[in-house]
Amino acid sequence: MSLLVLGGTAWLGRQVVAAARALGQDVTVLARGESGAPPRDVEVVLADRGDPAAYDDVRGRDWDVVVDVARQPSHVTSAVEALGARAASWVFVSSASVYATGDIEGADESAELLPAHEADDEGWETYGGRKVASEQSILDHVGDKALVARSGLIAGPGDHTDRTGYWPLRFAHPADPDGAVLVPDSPVATQVLDVRDLADWLVRAGLGRATGVVNASGPVLPLGDHLAAAREVAGHDGEVVQVDQDWLAAHEVQPWSGNRSLPLWLPLPEYAGFMARSTAAAAALGLTSRPIGETLRDTLAWEVAAGPGRARKAGLSPSDEVDLLADARQ
């Protein structure tokens, strides 16, 4: 079967290509090729999706599955207009960031969405709205054969956001000389899905002609259980210093990601359901998740190979953590 991946040189796209090849599919990748080297053993069409001629080399062919991971509404619309009629199945990777609120645990796909943001943009503040606009375009054009997967937090080897690699790496290489690690004392939920499980499911669901709009994420785990799993795979036996969200806010530690942050931690109650959404619809379409320990172990191995001292997009710097630990122990 023929499978076209729109954007197959970055993290998730490469995993989709790998999953499709593992299933014996003929794969074509259409991408600029700027996010990484083109995958091996596949047809590669280098094109800029902002160019009106971007799809000229692939628009005259029939596709069993098209997988799109785009985040710009114009790219999504131009692709579906050019290729939708020749595709038997259209799989779009959306995001749980489309939802207007994140305070309700167990919310399903009927939850309120953000207003659509139809203009292309690179800002994080418009990301969810751009995905909403993209979903609407796909459903308007090929809704009868489209699977819209609202992905939650993706984890695993290659996580360039540094969110899921931070904890196993920090437990393996504590910043403090005595081995102590600073952690949030919070019952907030975590819900991550291994990139390999997501990619394999996207391909299988597309080949199976699955349709609908579904939340695609992993099992819900309290943050403490996620941290315990990270600590176990890292073999950490040092002190764990817990601090609550008021202490973290007072010390200007940011939630989720970015500079001077603690990844996966989110303040309550406004984010109680951000990583606790219902995934029953995706499970009914075959989505499964490997044990969190396996994901974190493989992510740690990738982090070590990538270089523990590299500049990071999420987490505390070692010096910040040492200072914060000193304050927490006073």
223 part of a folded domain: yes
One-letter amino acid for residue 101 of the chain: T
Considering 151, 177, 203, which residue would you say is the last residue of a domain?
151
Q: What is the pLDDT of residues 83-120, one digit of tens each?
A: 999 999 999 999 999 999 999 999 999 999 999 999 99
One domain, residues 167 and 77: no
Q: Which CATH number belongs to the domain containing residue 253 in this structure? A: 3.90.25
Residue-level pLDDT at 247:
98
**Distant-in-sequence, close-in-space partners of 34: CB < 8 Å, separation ≥ 6:** 9
Q: Is residue 72 part of a domain?
A: yes
C-alpha R_g of the chain: 20
Distance CA 187, CA 273 (A): 11
How many of the other CB atoms lie within 10 Å of CB of 150?
25
SS3 at position 122 = coil
Residue 268 sits in the same domain as residue 302: yes
Query: In degrees to the nearest 10, what's the CA dihedral of 227, 233, 238, 243?
Result: -10
* 146 and 169 in a common domain: no
Domain range spanning residue 124?
2-151
Tens of pLDDT, residues 42-86: 999 999 999 999 999 999 999 999 999 999 999 999 999 999 999
Do both 120 and 92 map to the same domain?
Answer: yes
Q: Is the C-alpha dihedral spanning 297, 303, 308, 309 positive or negative? A: negative
The amino acid at 48: D
- From residue 139, give the alpha-carbon distance in Å to each of 207, 212, 323: 19, 9, 51
Is 200 among the domain residues? no
Q: Do 112 and 68 lie in a common domain?
A: yes
